[in-house]
Chain A
Amino acid sequence: MLKADLILYNGKILQMNGKGLLQEAVAIKDGKILDVGKNSEIKDYMGHTTEVIDLKGRTAVPGFIDSHVHLVPTGLNALGLNLKRVKSIKDILNLIKKKLETPKNGDVIWGVALDELSLKEKKLPTRYDLDSIAPEIPVFISRVEYHTIVVNSCAFHKINLPFNLEGIEKDSRGLPTGRLHHHASSIARKKLFEMIPEEKRQQGVELAINQAIRRGVTTVVAMEGGFLFHDNHAELLIKHKASLPIDIELFYQTTDINKVISYNLPRIGGCIFLDGSFGSRSAALFEPYQDMPQCQGNLYFTQEEVDEFVIKAHEKKLQIAMHAIGGRAIQQVLTAYEKALSKIPRRDHRHRIEHFELPTDDQIKKARELGIIVSVQPAYEYMWGWPGGMYEIRLGKERCKRANPFKKLIDSGLLLAGGSDSDVTPINPLLGIHSAANHPHSESKITPYQALKMFTINGATAIFQEKSKGTIERGKIADIAVLENNPLEVDTDAIKDIKVDYTIKNGKILYAACGAEE
């Protein structure tokens, strides 16, 4: 009889294969699941060199799959200055000063998540403010939604924006203030990404992956490149993904089909922004925003352009994913998918819609008919779905109840893959599961089991990997997360507090929490 490399026993093994059986032990050999069963059955696989872990009643679930992560930006933001909690311009300058005093502070400083409304001055700093503390090194400060960036004079010199680029704010003397909006901000952001050396980007990726591993994630679906990001992020992952400790499945965010094919990628898209977001009132709604009646958001593509891209990518047998939040954007992508599928029918295309936050009933039905996979981010509800939260402010009391209608989507027969959209919300599948099971609107709540599926087997299905991942079954890759408690048994409002004790990838223990062995 074959002997296992690793055995987990005395646990609750949630196989997520739909059979509802709770097993006690799992044997792993050569990175794959050798067997799952009762302690007594699995004991037979124990050999002299078998490593054994007594789970002591802990719960093992398939390694989590985060279906929507901006991995490189997540890492870079973690390396940058976090300005979420600053209270004044002086606080910002102090943080920059500290960074300057750190050895190896690098060739460029960047800060993220600044909201000027939380500053006592109620305004963004100018380049003169930044110059006062950092005259020699380029500094970039991003507003919380990335639509505005403030740079110091050194950075302004280096990014060398043309005079006729829209969005360069000027003072009364006609001189640039360093605050860059809209187009100028997009370009500045790209230039920043170019200034950050590759080793720093790699460092960022390692940091983000380590965070993911600590949360039990063994597969990340990375949405990289394109507008708001940089193609060098996608290139970096293509170059290094084989050497990374967990699986990275890349969606290259481009409409350049030939480029994607040249890299042998089976999929294209991700956050190809058909519309914006609720926060910036740029998600394309059918009805105006509650707090800005003259605004219904923006569509960034014409229907013709979406159709053209979708049909070409579909013809090349690529899996497609596109960002659509508001109803008008969802309609655009559904229309394009429908046209492509009617022209070239394909049964198992698994085209996706990312976010799908405010669909109509008809759109849900249409998505089901077309066999679309919906990639959702339940932690949005945790952040913005509560009374008085951003959803309610932007959409109004009634309409916000229709946002992220997970139960309705599942009941209609749609397959939902769960993600974080990191770093909009952190890479933390248990928070996602918690958020879906505790949806602020009871009619949209789903069971913890359904939520768990979103981050395991459904995530695998959404990238054509359900035969090798997503459940704990014989022959599958041994990707396992060991949890302190069973998310199906604890109070639903305590799911987010469950700790990950082990993360096992390809049968290797990548992470063991402090005291996990005890």
Chain B
Amino acid sequence: MILKAYFLGRLDFTYKGKSISPQLSQKARGLLCYLIMNKSRILNRENLAELFWETSSKDSAKYNLRYTLWAIRKSLESSAEEQKYIILPGKNTCKFNSDSPHWVDVFEFIKLVNKGKKENIPVEKRIDCLEATSTLYKSDFLEGVHVRASSAFSDWVFYEKERLQKLFFESQLMLADLYESLKRYDKAIQALKRLVKINPLQEEIYYKLIHLYYISGDRVSAIKEFLKCKKTLREELNISPMKKTQRLYKKIVEENNFSIDNIDNEPNTTAGSQNNSILNAIKNKKKGLHMFFYMVSSTQEKQNAEKELNHLNTIENYISIDIARLPGKRIPYEGVMDIAESALKNIEIHNSNSLSPDPLLFKELKNSFEQYLVFQSVLDLLIHLAQTSNVLIKIHNIHWFDRETIDFLSFLYRKGYDKNLFITGIYDLRWKNPRFDYFVKAFYNEERIQFCNLSIDYMKSY
């Protein structure tokens, strides 16, 4: 490898093991970085000249570009090396030669994050990849680099910086989740500490840290972390920690035999409310319709929520309907049809008197009245089913649902309020479903609908 480029942190280029940055002007360093980051594209020289010398005249900008490209090429190719790093495919174009021997920290970083995301490779391999990202991500993209008279270049830097920082957050959160699942809490803590260093004001990270310290048996550090969080939020933003964080702290301080799971079991809370409450509702033979949704934002959380759903299979005397197990965005009414079909199957199994579905279910709907009739028909099926047994509908990937099915849930809540129907599901916040977001907003304060583990970002939108 001859040319190495370091963009995550201090900008530097090494050629044959020696830094060439001192030989390059600020603009040349910026230009070389831009060319490398866009190595798959052929770039128009006029545009490049304007990007870096926006306040100069056209001719002067072009001359400056020509000179700067020459300076870069000189510093890279002054020896007898055959490789050309900067190539000029056309009269007015130029490009970084992607076939040249080079290594760029950003590309390596992205590659490792993507590899670390893959769930089909062994956990230890994923951990190795994600750990390596933290070594590469020394600091933010082009930290401290400000190229004179080039606001468009600044814009590009801001954009890239944000994109890469997001990826870094994603990678470290994922890494912490994986470590936690392996009970390697010290490592999970290390990963999250890296994020606190970048954003010391993100309370959700503190919450995770306190939790990890606690479950690792380090009560003292858990308490210290809370106090640090409280002090930082007070001094920087003049705000108190979230109730959820305060409750966790209190439990740690006050209870000797405290189980971390209890944190999310606290009643009347907005975030992390009443875990397993659908199970409680069923166990306690609560009457009427109840809904309970898990809001997840990581693979680990999704897996945990799936476990909870599967755990519900152990309950006896319930007709259980599983839908939306497979990925993929649903077409209009697909979810409603799935519910109807499953209900019909169960009616056939549990009831010898078969019930014919309304013919409207199978034809194109022309207006909202027809939509009403379809919704009512499916509700009738569910009510029919609920006459003999309690009904539990489990929606494994609610984020894939079509808007009509989400509207059906809303309809169900209003029209089936007094029926013994239990609906639960998983909403993966990473797959944004605007219709379900509306649903949350509308039913947020409803007593019989609960949303568990809302992430802080999600909560902020309300």
Nearest A-chain residue to B239, judged by Cβ: A300
> Could you say which of B90-98, B151-159, B415-423 contacts chain A?
B151-159
Interchain CB contact (< 8 A) of B165 among A154, A163, A187: A163
Q: Are A187 and B460 in contact (CB under 8 A)?
A: no
**A162-B199, A227-B238 known; A128+B140 contact, CB < 8 A:** no
Q: Are A165 and B235 in contact (CB under 8 A)?
A: no
Q: Are A157 and B146 in contact (CB under 8 A)?
A: yes
Complexed CA–CA distance, A250 and B144 (Å): 36
Taking CB atoms and an 8 Å cut-off, the chain B residues in 158-182 that contact chain A are: 158-159, 161-162, 165-166, 169
Q: Are A154 and B234 in contact (CB under 8 A)?
A: no
B33, chain A: closest CB distance, angstroms: 15
Nearest A-chain residue to B231, judged by Cβ: A256
**A162-B199, A176-B158, A256-B231 known; A153+B238 contact, CB < 8 A:** no
Residues of A within 8 A of B151 (CB): 128, 131, 135, 153
A127, chain B: closest CB distance, angstroms: 8
Q: Are B146 and A154 in contact (CB under 8 A)?
A: yes
Give the A-B contact count at a CB cut-off of 8 A: 72
Residues of A within 8 A of B202 (CB): 162, 164
Nearest A-chain residue to B243, judged by Cβ: A302
- Check A1 for interface membership: any CB of B closer than 8 A: no
B137, chain A: closest CB distance, angstroms: 13
Nearest A-chain residue to B163, judged by Cβ: A163
- Check B143 for interface membership: any CB of A closer than 8 A: yes
- Check A269 for interface membership: any CB of B closer than 8 A: no
Interchain CB contact (< 8 A) of B162 among A131, A163, A187, A227: A163
Q: Are A174 and B144 in contact (CB under 8 A)?
A: no
A469, chain B: closest CB distance, angstroms: 32
- Check B355 for interface membership: any CB of A closer than 8 A: no
Q: Are A160 and B140 in contact (CB under 8 A)?
A: yes
- Check A226 for interface membership: any CB of B closer than 8 A: yes
Complexed CA–CA distance, A87 and B199 (Å): 37
Interchain CB contact (< 8 A) of B166 among A163, A301, A302: A163
Nearest B-chain residue to A138, judged by Cβ: B146
Residues of B within 8 A of A158 (CB): 144, 146
Chain B 207-237, CB-CB to A under 8 Å as 1, else 0, gives: 0000000000000000000000001001111
Chain A 174-199, CB-CB to B under 8 Å as 1, else 0, gives: 11100000010011001000000000
Residues of A within 8 A of B201 (CB): 162, 165, 183, 187
**A153-B151, A160-B140, A164-B199 known; A227+B235 contact, CB < 8 A:** yes
- Check B360 for interface membership: any CB of A closer than 8 A: no
**A163-B166, A164-B169 known; A186+B146 contact, CB < 8 A:** no
- Check B365 for interface membership: any CB of A closer than 8 A: no
Taking CB atoms and an 8 Å cut-off, the chain B residues in 401-436 that contact chain A are: none
Residues of A within 8 A of B239 (CB): 300
- Check A44 for interface membership: any CB of B closer than 8 A: no
Complexed CA–CA distance, A5 and B162 (Å): 67
Residues of B within 8 A of A190 (CB): 236
Chain B 275-298, CB-CB to A under 8 Å as 1, else 0, gives: 000000000000000000000000
Nearest A-chain residue to B157, judged by Cβ: A157
Chain B 235-249, CB-CB to A under 8 Å as 1, else 0, gives: 111111000000000
Interchain CB contact (< 8 A) of A300 among B140, B149, B162, B240: B240
B348, chain A: closest CB distance, angstroms: 51
Q: How many residues of B contact A (CB 8 A)?
A: 32
**A135-B148, A165-B201, A166-B460 known; A254+B158 contact, CB < 8 A:** no
B360, chain A: closest CB distance, angstroms: 43
Q: Are B237 and A186 in contact (CB under 8 A)?
A: yes
Residues of B within 8 A of A156 (CB): 154, 158
- Check B198 for interface membership: any CB of A closer than 8 A: yes
Residues of B within 8 A of A176 (CB): 158
Residues of B within 8 A of A166 (CB): 460
- Check A273 for interface membership: any CB of B closer than 8 A: yes
- Check A136 for interface membership: any CB of B closer than 8 A: yes
Residues of B within 8 A of A136 (CB): 148
Of B148, B157, B236, B457, the most chain A CB neighbours within 10 A belong to B236
Q: Are A175 and B240 in contact (CB under 8 A)?
A: no
Residues of B within 8 A of A135 (CB): 148-149, 151
Complexed CA–CA distance, A255 and B162 (Å): 34
Complexed CA–CA distance, A133 and B278 (Å): 61
Of A160, A163, A226, the most chain B CB neighbours within 10 A belong to A163
Residues of A within 8 A of B238 (CB): 186, 227-228, 273, 300
- Check A305 for interface membership: any CB of B closer than 8 A: yes
B192, chain A: closest CB distance, angstroms: 14
**A187-B201, A256-B231, A300-B239 known; A157+B460 contact, CB < 8 A:** no
Residues of B within 8 A of A157 (CB): 144-146, 154, 157
Residues of A within 8 A of B159 (CB): 174-175
Residues of A within 8 A of B236 (CB): 183, 186-187, 190, 227
Chain A 235-259, CB-CB to B under 8 Å as 1, else 0, gives: 0000000000000000000111000
Residues of A within 8 A of B234 (CB): 227, 255
Chain B 186-205, CB-CB to A under 8 Å as 1, else 0, gives: 00000000000011011000
Q: Are A302 and B240 in contact (CB under 8 A)?
A: yes
Complexed CA–CA distance, A371 and B457 (Å): 45
Q: Are A254 and B235 in contact (CB under 8 A)?
A: yes
Complexed CA–CA distance, A255 and B239 (Å): 13
Residues of A within 8 A of B148 (CB): 135-136
Taking CB atoms and an 8 Å cut-off, the chain A residues in 117-167 that contact chain B are: 128, 131, 135-136, 153-154, 156-158, 160, 162-166
Complexed CA–CA distance, A418 and B237 (Å): 28
Complexed CA–CA distance, A350 and B140 (Å): 49
Q: Are B460 and A162 in contact (CB under 8 A)?
A: no
Residues of A within 8 A of B231 (CB): 255-256
Residues of B within 8 A of A175 (CB): 155, 158-159
Residues of B within 8 A of A131 (CB): 151, 154
Q: Are B240 and A301 in contact (CB under 8 A)?
A: yes
Chain A 408-452, CB-CB to B under 8 Å as 1, else 0, gives: 000000000000000000000000000000000000000000000
A64, chain B: closest CB distance, angstroms: 31
Complexed CA–CA distance, A156 and B151 (Å): 12
Residues of A within 8 A of B155 (CB): 175
Complexed CA–CA distance, A256 and B231 (Å): 8
Q: Are B143 and A160 in contact (CB under 8 A)?
A: yes
Nearest A-chain residue to B165, judged by Cβ: A163
Nearest A-chain residue to B145, judged by Cβ: A157
Complexed CA–CA distance, A231 and B202 (Å): 21
Residues of B within 8 A of A164 (CB): 169, 199, 202, 457
Residues of B within 8 A of A174 (CB): 159
Nearest A-chain residue to B153, judged by Cβ: A153
**A227-B234, A302-B240 known; A153+B154 contact, CB < 8 A:** yes
Residues of A within 8 A of B158 (CB): 156, 175-176
Residues of B within 8 A of A301 (CB): 240
Residues of A within 8 A of B235 (CB): 226-227, 231, 254
Complexed CA–CA distance, A115 and B253 (Å): 47
Complexed CA–CA distance, A423 and B225 (Å): 36
Residues of A within 8 A of B457 (CB): 164
Nearest B-chain residue to A157, judged by Cβ: B146
Complexed CA–CA distance, A162 and B199 (Å): 6
Complexed CA–CA distance, A162 and B460 (Å): 17
Complexed CA–CA distance, A153 and B158 (Å): 9
Residues of A within 8 A of B149 (CB): 135
Complexed CA–CA distance, A416 and B235 (Å): 29
Complexed CA–CA distance, A164 and B166 (Å): 8
With A175-B158, A175-B159, A227-B236 known, 4 other A-B pairs at CB within 8 A are A164-B457, A165-B201, A166-B460, A190-B236
A-B contact pairs, 14 of them (CB 8 A): A136-B148, A156-B158, A157-B144, A158-B146, A162-B165, A163-B161, A163-B166, A163-B169, A164-B457, A165-B201, A183-B236, A227-B236, A300-B239, A301-B240
Interface residues of B (CB under 8 A from A): 140, 143-146, 148-149, 151, 154-155, 157-159, 161-162, 165-166, 169, 198-199, 201-202, 231, 234-240, 457, 460
Report, nearest first, the 3 A-B pairs whose CB atoms are least far apart.
A162-B199, A227-B238, A153-B154
